[in-house]
Amino acid sequence: MFYYTSVFAYHNLESVMATEERSFKTQDFTVPSNGSGKTIQVRISEPNLTSENLGLETWAASHILASQLHHIGPKIQFPAPSSDVLPILELGAGTGLVGVTAATLWKQPVVLTDLAPLVPALDANIDLNSEGLKTADTHMEAGTLDWKHPTTLIVKDQQQPQTQAHVIFAADTIYSEEHPELLANVILKWLVKDKEARFIIAYPLRVCYIDYIREMWERLEEGGLEAFEEGREEASQDLFNDERLVEWSVWRWNNI
């Protein structure tokens, strides 16, 4: 996930993606589909962006969170389709691994969001997994949601009618001092007030960001949410070089 707070950085990213000679690497990620050893393959393409030290890749937290969905999903009851509430929203989706996995396993529509310059990469990964989505009889879209003004979801240049979501994902989205407040505000604004609604997050246990994580927890708890399931997993050394220890948690409203 990329969240740039300066206008210069945002347009710099957009410029790099538009002008750099594009090359891609495509990788199949294996994630569990049940507790009996069955798996699915999620195909992810990552543009190699080397200019200005930018990179778009799948991080360990995304793979760990995707790998937990087979046992988290059966515990969530989704309501009947609604024009006002999205079944699943992913924030800072990056390459979209978590959202694609959720759509495939849970058979629910998913909207992936990130910065506008990254949306084409998300669309590409949705297309790469079209067969799995077809088998699951569901669909996905990608768009933008400004964390500083989280009132409007934009998909394909169109404002969407939904302003809430039943499930919200966030993987590795906290790495600056403003992220705890921004992310908590988005969650408290978008998570529908329902006893079955869930916020599901994963993040690497970076020492330098632990205070940000604590602040996020405090803000979510002050806003009326509680973490009722959590765990720690270490990502495969074959897939990831560093930041492999990841913590995840599932949140719900505590006063409903």
- Highest mean pLDDT: which range of 21-25, 102-106, 157-161: 102-106
Confidence of residue 254 (pLDDT cuts 50, 70, 90): very high
pLDDT tens for 13-56 read 454 454 444 567 899 999 999 988 999 999 999 876 543 334 47
Q: Is 173 part of a structural domain of the chain?
A: yes
Confidence of residue 235 (pLDDT cuts 50, 70, 90): low
Q: Is 245 part of a structural domain of the chain?
A: yes
Q: Is 209 part of a structural domain of the chain?
A: yes
Contact status, residue 115 vs residue 10, Cβ threshold 8 Å = yes
For residue 220, how far is the Cα from the chain centroid? 17
pLDDT at 166: 98
- Report in angstroms the alpha-carbon separations of 232 from 60, 229, 249: 12, 11, 9
Contact status, residue 86 vs residue 166, Cβ threshold 8 Å = yes
Q: Is 1 part of a structural domain of the chain?
A: no
Report whether pLDDT(5) > 60: no
Confidence of residue 57 (pLDDT cuts 50, 70, 90): confident
For range 214-238, the mean pLDDT: 91
Q: Which CATH number fits the domain that encloses residue 211?
A: 3.40.50.150
Report whether pLDDT(10) > 60: no
Q: Which residues pair with 1 in a beta bridge?
A: none
Q: Which residues contact 41 (CB under 8 A, 6 or more apart)?
A: 28, 29, 30
Least confident of 2-6, 138-142, 151-155, 201-205: 2-6
| Element housing 248 (H / E) | strand 245-253
Q: DSSP letters along 113-182, please?
A: E--GGGHHHHHHHHHHTHHHHHHTT--EEEEEE-TTSTT-EEETTEE-S--EEEEEEEES---STTHHHH
For range 67-75, the mean pLDDT: 96
pLDDT at 85: 96
pLDDT at 2: 39
Q: Which residues contact 254 (CB under 8 A, 6 or more apart)?
A: 224, 225, 226
Q: Is 2 part of a structural domain of the chain?
A: no
Q: Is 108 part of a structural domain of the chain?
A: yes
**Mean pLDDT (the chain, rounded):** 88
Tell me how long the chain is. 256
For range 62-67, the mean pLDDT: 95
Report whether pLDDT(217) > 60: yes
pLDDT at 252: 99
Q: Identify the domain containing residue 93 by its residue range.
A: 7-253
Q: Count how many domains the chain has.
A: 1
pLDDT at 48: 67
pLDDT at 15: 46
Cα end-to-end span (Å), the chain? 31
Least confident of 4-8, 62-66, 150-154: 4-8
The pTM assigned to this predicted structure is 0.88
- Of 115, 187, 175, 109, the C-alpha closest to 145 is 115
